[in-house]
Amino acid sequence: SQTIHQWPATLVQPVGSPLSLECTVEGTSNPNLYWYRQAAGRGLQLLFYSVGIGQISSEVPQNLSASRPQDRQFILSSKKLLLSDSGFYLCAWSVYEGRPEAFFGQGTRLTVV
Amino acid sequence: AQSVAQPEDQVNVAEGNPLTVKCTYSVSGNPYLFWYVQYPNRGLQFLLKYITGDNLVKGSYGFEAEFNKSQTSFHLKKPSALVSDSALYFCAVRDRRMYSSASKIIFGSGTRLSIRP
């Protein structure tokens, strides 16, 4: 069966510090991978998605970047965090045929202070 | 461009009564449609999906959703609500055409469902 791991669960970072959130998927190959941000317990904003290694699509211009160095690894980064980067970050995966739905990790609560 | 609208921020229902959480969508062609549930400080859990066929889709925990192509809607329903159904519910849409941006899954703003005893 497939599993998704996302860490850390919580993170408190000072303004101006770098960020690296990692997500890995097990039990499937060539998944689509996603990073979403959820502010204040409300809607999910799609930040990045990837259909393959090194292929990153950005949905919203911002202070963040994403990378996919391996097939089942997706990394969200920032060089200098802003207060507005605080939120709940969720990683997810999907495939195309048969199971088009996304499956989510448990999320990372990021607080920038 | 794909979009999803959940017009109600909150839905309040008495336990045992039927519930409906509304969702409308905008996407070219025939979409995949999904419902998810989120409990506090947790990731989203998949409830059900519409791919093709019967417009009434059954999912987890007794939930079902009705796909209406003419109204571009996919409302979530349950015949008898439980207090434990109280959570945040999200509708989502994905274009089914096979090109790279079809992997995008767009979510609505969420509806908070509150079931009172």
pLDDT tens for each residue of B56-89:
999 999 999 999 999 999 999 999 999 999 999 9
Cβ of residue B46 closer than 8 Å to a chain A Cβ? yes
Distance (Å, whole) CA A76 – CA A59: 13
The pLDDT of residue A5: 94
Distance (Å, whole) CA A80 – CA A14: 9
Distance (Å, whole) CA B64 – CA B66: 7
Q: Is B69 left (phi over 0), alpha (psi -120 to 50) or beta?
A: alpha
| Nearest in space to A106 (alpha carbons), one of A87, A90, A82, A83 | A90
Cβ of residue A46 closer than 8 Å to a chain B Cβ? yes
Confidence of residue B101 (pLDDT cuts 50, 70, 90): low
Query: Which of helix, strand or coil describes residue B82?
Result: coil
| Nearest in space to A92 (alpha carbons), one of A74, A112, A80 | A74
The pLDDT of residue A43: 87
Mean pLDDT, rounded, of chain B: 92
A46, closest residue in chain B (CA to CA): B106
Q: Tell which of B103, B104, B107, B113 to mutate to test the A interface (max A CBs under 10 Å).
A: B103
Question: For a pLDDT cut of 90, what percent of chain B falls above it?
Answer: 77
Total beta-carbon pairs less than 8 A apart between chain A and chain B: 69
The pLDDT of residue A59: 87
Question: For a pLDDT cut of 70, what percent of chain A falls above it?
Answer: 97
Q: What stretches of chain A adopt beta strand conformation (E)?
A: 3-7, 10-13, 19-26, 32-38, 44-52, 55-58, 65-70, 73-78, 87-94, 103-104, 108-112
The tokens for B3 are 């979009």
A52, closest residue in chain B (CA to CA): B100
A57: amino acid identity, one letter? S
**Higher model confidence: residue B29 or residue A54?**
A54
Parallel/antiparallel/unpaired status of strands A73-78 and A19-26: antiparallel
- What mean pLDDT do residues A6-11 have? 94
User: Would you call A101 and B110 a contact, using CB atoms and an 8 Å cutoff?
Assistant: no
User: Would you call A101 and B34 a contact, using CB atoms and an 8 Å cutoff?
Assistant: yes
Confidence of residue B102 (pLDDT cuts 50, 70, 90): low
- CB-closest option in B42, B43, B104 to A46: B104
